[in-house]
A = this chain, B = another copy of it.
Amino acid sequence: MSQGLKEQIIERVKGDLQQVEAALKNGLKPNVELVTAIASHLLFAGGKRLRPLLMIHSARVCGYSGGFEIEFSTIFEYLHAATLLHDDVVDAADVRRGEKAAHTKWPAPQVVLTGDFLLAQALTIAAKTREPDIIDVIAGITKEMSQGEIDQMEKRGDLGLTQDAYLKLIERKTAVLIQGACKSGAILARAGREEREALSRYGFHLGMAFQMADDLLDYLATAEQLGKNPGADMREGKLTLPLIHSLANAPEKDKAWMESAVREAEFDPDRFEKLKQMLVKYKGIEYTQSRAKEHVQKAKACLDRVPENESRRLLFLIADYALERKV
């Protein structure tokens, strides 16, 4: 099923993807070798290009035919990559766990400056749109994301993280950027207020669902599916919804055990398995799945207010994929 959904999506976007790849490469040259190396390592490591695709098809669903959607869509991949790079520096320096971000091959200063460069590149392309409303969106994204990062850093290891605080955090960390990509597409197409709003809401709910699905995958996927070991959140002391809900539902003894499991710096596979069983027992998995499903349904409902066409069908498929994906 899921594989079928993925294939359907890829079939529809493979032409776009090729053009996005070319545009992303083009935006990186001519540049300092080091930047190209660091940025490429991340940018061309098999990303799904979700954000560019959403921008492109949010523009097209509203009838855009100006021809700049591919170039402008790279804004959102560069922004995403810039954030990941600065995230790496934060994670790598998390002395509490003493573990270096696995995919950081370069010293922090180089990574910081490459992130700055990618952000500057995103801005440069955004400026080319000459659309003050798109600039507003980008400015809002950078501000929310930077505050989200700071929040996340401060809340690392906080066992009292509430569901509301978690929701705000994933909104800032993930949903705002995906929402911004969709909204910018609608703005580029000079869509009316209702369509802009519909695509903005679509992006918000999709982003929330994607992050919840990510948080579930960190517990449920295999190492092979993830391309890295699951359980990263437990190791890094990051509380996500499956755990937050389970902690709230568990009796004192099991709650204390779960808390201790997250506090442990050393990863232990048996402990991880037991924690997963608790998340099932106290319905954290089930609850997160149902919240993510709600967001997917809301995202799809927003599409009622945009024209029926090929891009709309793609946006539906992507919403379903948010939940069914295995990576």
Contacts and interface: CB of A to CB of B under 8 A. Distances in A.
* Residue picked from A110, A121, A127, A143, most chain B C-beta under 10 Å: A127
A78 B127 CA distance: 19
Interface stretch (A29-37, A190-198, A211-219, A246-254): A29-37
A16 interface: no
Copies in the complex: 2
Interface string A59-92: 0000000000000000000000000001001100
B143 A34 contact: no
B143 A120 contact: yes
A130 B113 CA distance: 28
A309 interface: no
Contacts of A149: 113, 116
Nearest to A121: B143
A266 interface: no
Contacts of A143: 117, 120-121, 123-124
A93 B116 contact: no
A108 to B, nearest CB: 6
A131 B116 CA distance: 23
Interface stretch (A132-140, A160-168, A257-265, A283-291): A132-140
B127 A86 contact: no
A146 B117 contact: yes
Contact of A112 (B32, B112, B120, B130): B112
7 contacts: A32-B154, A86-B116, A90-B109, A90-B112, A108-B108, A124-B139, A127-B139
Contact of A150 (B34, B132, B140, B145): B34
Interface string A94-137: 10000000000001111011101101110110110011100110
Given A35-B150, A116-B146, A108 B89 contact: yes
Contact of A130 (B127, B132, B146, B147): B132
Given A120-B143, A124-B140, A130-B132, A113 B150 contact: yes
Given A86-B112, A89-B109, A124-B142, 7 more contacts: A110-B153, A116-B142, A116-B146, A126-B139, A127-B132, A127-B139, A127-B140
Given A123-B139, A130-B132, A153-B113, A147 B86 contact: no
A146 B136 CA distance: 22
A135 B142 contact: no
A138 B123 CA distance: 8
